Amino acid sequence: MLTLLFDGVAYGMLLFVLAVGLAVTLGLMNFINLAHGAFAMAGGYITVLLMNRAGVPFLACLPLAFIGAGLLGAALEPTLYRRMYARPHLDQVLFSIGLVFMAVTAVDYVVGSMQQNIQVPAWLQGRFDIAWVGIGRYRLFIIVVCAVLALALQWVLVRTRFGSRLRAAVDDPRVASGLGLNVNRIFLATFVVGSGLAGLGGALGAEVLGLDPSFPLKFMIYFLIVCAVGGTTTITGPLLAALLLGIADVMGKYYVPKLGAFIVYTLMILILLVRPQGLFARAGAAR
Amino acid sequence: MSAQASAALARDARWRGWELATLAALPVAWLLLPGQALILNEIAILALFALSLDLVLGYAGVVSLGHAAFFGLGAYTAALCAKLLTPDPWLGLAAAVGATALLGFLTSFLILRGSDLTRLMVTLGVALILYELANKLDWLTGGADGLQGVAMGPVLTPFGAFEFDIGGRVACAYSMALLVACLLLVRQALRDNPVRAASIGLSVHARLIVAYTIGGAIGGVAGALLAQTNGFASLDVLDFHRSAEVLLVLVIGGTGYLYGGLFGAVAFKLLHDLLSAWTPQYWNFWIGVFLVVLVIVGRERLLRPWSWGRR
């Protein structure tokens, strides 16, 4: 029971790191980016290919996955994404679905459609027991890394100058740019970091979530749930939503495997019915 | 009602030449291209599906990422009806329409509130739930193997009974007849709607519910046609790919007018055949490129090359 809870937390933390970049994109530019999973997949494949073909150690791959996915974001944001911010949501949806299709087939073409496996280092394998709670080492590692990241993000957002600029831009981009903030540059920076985090999440999750070319399609709904349920105005909202989703998914799949993913989807629809702005959104926050 | 408004209504109601030509092109294509009946059948089904999305997207303004829910429910209902109850295609069609209209009516209340993102998630969620259902209820739906061995009876018409043939001529005529019927129905409904809306005071919610219900039912017809003419229903009919594909079809043809789905379906099928002949496994990549270019150039402008030079 507690082991399941632990696994759920690990899964939730992973989802948070994967989805937090999407929350920023949604909150800052009101842009529906269905292609967010493609950046995560990029990070995952960078790790897999570096480890299996070049023999790079796992820990060294993680920052490389972050940098690789971030660079991809830095290349795409000014060239493609920036044109889409002012467009209707339908255009954004079509555009990002197009990107997803391209990413899925491109990876299929280059690497092949089979499931990729990574071998985590020996000191991360296996599990140990604390007070009859089985704790997987790798899952503990995920929780620690993601918790550190979440704390760091919260610190940047609340305590630094960049954080206050970012929050100003999220709350009201027009006024923020009227006050002399370069909203475009703030957004480029956040987009790059968000893509990088997705890449890191993809690298961490390759072992837990599985990695094959359909990754962006399979997990798209999960990222969207985290953002839609958590709201996009804070870090804590998506974090709590991701934890809730992770725990509900793991528990649901263990106790009632027949029901499969129903629980998560039904829960999402119900929550969105009651709170269309998300579970943890500030009341009256501008959308 | 002002004179101007009634003049506008009368103008909308009149049949224009190109409309008649478009409708006449369907039976002509059926007569002249007997070898292509299977493709024409697919085009007719895709056009119906796109028409149903057009009601939801173009007229009600709901960005739906889960329209395959209706297509899939229609397909499974028709296939199950043929397998368990009666092989008569009309009854199967009626069952599919009933089931999908009910689904549309019930789920329309879920999308009355919220932003585009919320609606997107809810429509996607409904389609995913149906997909999971079809996957898990394998004693009924065959699960991942699909529902096989659906034997259809002949189509009973006033002109006699027609068996579905291998070449797909009957299937094609059946699908085209339903496409034309639905086009006429929607045309009538859209023409009547402004009058009614003006006289009862515009009710956005009621319009949305009606549009979503009818849209869902027509999507169900499209799905039922696919299952009946192919004698097969599989999980593929509920897949996310289908929802994305029909969105693309409609956008190619143009949203918000009656024939957008039909033109889009023809263009999409041609594009698809061209691409998959050239690169059978990776044609999805080029569909993706096409989508990105389409949006960047501008949906309205891509099909109007003369506006490219202008700003």
Cα–Cα distance, B117 to B119 (Å, whole number): 5
- Decide if A242 contacts A15 (C-beta within 8 A): yes
Length of chain A: 287
Tell me which of A170 and A35 has the higher pLDDT: A35
Q: How far apart, in Å, are the Cα atoms of A9 and each of A135, A143, A222, B203, B274?
A: 12, 7, 15, 46, 48
What pLDDT was estimated at residue B97?
A: 92
Rounded distance between C-alpha atoms, residue B35 and residue B145, angstroms: 30
* Amino acid sitting at position A63: P
Say yes or no for a CB contact (<8 Å) between B288 and A265: no
Nearest by CB to residue A228, choosing from B113, B118, B248, is: B118
- Selected for mutation to probe chain B from A26, A102, A214, A270 (highest B CB count within 10 Å) is A102
A78 touches chain B (CB under 8 A): no
Query: Which amino acid is residue B137, in one-letter code?
Result: L
The answer to whether the Cβ–Cβ distance between B244 and A97 falls below 8 Å is yes
Is the CB of A269 less than 8 angstroms away from the CB of B115?
no
Instruction: Check whether B249 has a pLDDT greater than 60.
Output: yes
**Confidence grade of residue A67 (pLDDT, cut at 50, 70, 90):** very high
Measured distance CA(B95)–CA(B77) in Å, rounded = 7
At residue B279, what are phi and psi to the nearest 5 degrees? -140, 85
Contact residues, chain A, for B57 at CB < 8 Å: 90
Q: Which residue of B has its CA nearest to A261?
A: B132
Quote the crossing angle between the two packed helices B169-200 and B3-13, to the nearest 10°. Answer: 170
Q: What is the DSSP string of A215-262?
A: HHHHHHHHHHHHHHHH-SS-SHHHHHHHHHHHHHHHHHHHH-TTTTTH
Among chain B, residues having any CB pair with chain A shorter than 8 Å are 57, 63, 65, 110, 113-118, 120-122, 124-126, 128-129, 132-133, 135-136, 240, 244, 247-248, 251, 255, 281-282, 284-285, 287-292, 294-296, 299
CA-nearest residue to A275 within chain B is B114
Please state, in angstroms and rounded to a whole number, the distance separating the CA atoms of residues B257 and B13: 14
Please tell me the predicted confidence (pLDDT) of residue A170. 74
Domain spans, chain A: 2-214
The answer to whether the CB atoms of A99 and B129 lie below 8 A apart is: no
Which chain B residues are within 8 Å of A265, Cβ to Cβ?
125, 128-129, 132
> pLDDT tens-digit profile of A200-252?
988 888 888 888 888 888 888 888 888 888 877 677 888 888 888 888 888 88
Which chain A residues contact residue B285 at CB under 8 A?
101-102, 105-106, 109
A106 touching chain B per CB within 8 A: yes
pLDDT given for residue B220 in this prediction: 92
Say whether A97 and B289 touch across the interface (CB within 8 A): no
- Please judge whether A101 and B285 are an interchain contact, meaning their C-beta atoms are less than 8 angstroms apart: yes
Q: Taking residues B50-64, what's their average pLDDT?
A: 85
- Nearest Cα of chain B lies from the Cα of A79 at a distance, in angstroms, of 11
The answer to whether the CB atoms of A93 and B63 lie below 8 A apart is yes
What is the rounded distance in angstroms from the CA atom of residue B289 to the CA atom of residue B270?
16
pLDDT at position B311 is: 44
**What is chain A's mean pLDDT, rounded?**
82
Per-domain residue ranges for chain B?
3-278
CB contact under 8 A, A260 and B251: no
* Chain B neighbors of A105, CB-CB under 8 A: 282, 284-285, 288
Examine the pLDDT at B15 and tell me if it is beyond 80.
no
Q: Residue A5's pLDDT band (boundaries 50, 70, 90)?
A: confident
Mode of pairing for the β-strands spanning A133-136 and B155-157: unpaired
Q: How many CA atoms lie within 13 A of B299 on its CB side?
A: 23
| Range A143-148 average pLDDT | 89
Tell me what the mean pLDDT of segment A178-207 comes to: 86
Does the domain spanning B3-278 belong to CATH 1.10.3470?
yes
Q: What would the pLDDT profile of A249-270 be if each residue is shown by its tens digit?
A: 888 878 877 776 777 888 888 8
Nearest to A265 among B57, B129, B296 (CB): B129
> What pLDDT is recorded for position B192?
65
Top-confidence residue, B164 or B216: B216
Q: How many CB atoms lie within 10 A of CB B308?
A: 10
- Determine the residue among A36, A100, A101, A259 to mutate to test chain B binding: the one whose Cβ has the most chain B Cβ atoms within 10 Å: A101
Q: How far is B289 from chain A (nearest CA, A)?
A: 6
Residue in B192, B232, B186, B227 with CA at minimum distance from that of residue B50 = B186
pLDDT of residue A19: 87
Q: Reply yes or no on whether the pLDDT at A14 is more than 80.
A: yes
Model pLDDT for residues B186-221, shown as the tens digit of each residue: 877 776 655 555 555 566 777 788 888 988 999 999
Beta carbons of A183 and A177 less than 8 angstroms apart: yes
Contact A179, A45 (CB under 8 A): no
CA-based nearest residue in chain B for residue A84: B296
Name the residue among B224, B228, B237 with its Cα closest to residue B94. B224
Q: A285: pLDDT confidence band, cut at 50, 70 and 90?
A: very low
* Chain B CB contacts of A261 below 8 Å: 128, 132
Does residue B6 surpass a pLDDT of 70? Answer: no
User: Of B128, B255, B289, which is closest to A261 when you measure between CB atoms?
Assistant: B128
Q: Which of B117, B255, B289 to mutate to test the interface with A (most CBs of A within 10 A)?
A: B117
Q: Report the Cα B176 to chain-centroid distance in Å.
A: 13
pLDDT in the model for residue B200:
55
SS3 label, residue B151: coil
Q: Output the average pLDDT for chain B.
A: 80
For residue B108, which of B209, B214, B243, B216 has the smallest C-alpha distance?
Answer: B209
- Strands (E) across chain B are located at 155-157, 160-162
Q: Which residue has the higher pLDDT, B85 or B46?
A: B46
B252-286 residue pLDDT tens: 888 777 888 888 888 888 888 888 888 777 888 88
Question: Is A268's Cβ below 8 Å from some Cβ in B?
Answer: yes
